[in-house]
Amino acid sequence: MKRLKVSIVPRTLCRCLKSVTEHYKQLRDEVRKHNKTLKEGRKTPKVKADTIWHYIVHGKTGSRKLQKIHEAHPKVNHVMKICMDFRKMIHGEEKAQTMDEWLKEAEACPLKEIRSFAKYIRKDRDAVEQTCRTAFNNGLLEGTVNKAKAFKRNMFNKAGPAVLMAKLLYAD
């Protein structure tokens, strides 16, 4: 007040400060309520990947959280159906869709990742169809390669190639 060279009655100053603090408290409460509604709106139950995988493989779920997600977000049903149809197609089940039907459905999906996956499948369509028709896989070869890499990591800077070769040949 001295700098401004104004004389203000202390009572007036007190009223001004009181009204400012009340207004501040009111605005703060409004912001808190708004933030609370935003926070509650974002709450979607989190479901473990194993639960989703089990649902895709078996088509059934006992998870209440997954059922709540299905009820709250209808697009999830569409995405899960696309995943389940792909699994059926890969495993060669009788009620499975054809590759063309599945690609059309997947390319119309609202989820970007599913659309890009369908685009990738379309590029390598012959290999995917061959996979669906045959029962062969390279699991045995992959296991052998994995075992060799494990030995190599284990032997790093401990011995030369001759010892590594002997260990690979005489391992169980």
**What is the overall mean pLDDT for the chain?**
81
**Mean pLDDT value across residues 153-170:** 77
Residue 75 has a pLDDT of 78
Q: Which residue has the tokens 């997947």?
A: 106
Are 119 and 107 spatial neighbours (Cβ–Cβ below 8 Å)? yes
Q: What is the reported pTM?
A: 0.53
Range with the largest mean pLDDT of 39-43, 47-51, 96-100, 119-123? 119-123
In this predicted model, which residue has the larger pLDDT, 71 or 78? Answer: 78
Residue 116 has a pLDDT of 92
Longest dimension (CA), the chain: 99
Are 128 and 121 spatial neighbours (Cβ–Cβ below 8 Å)? yes
80's tokens: 């899960």
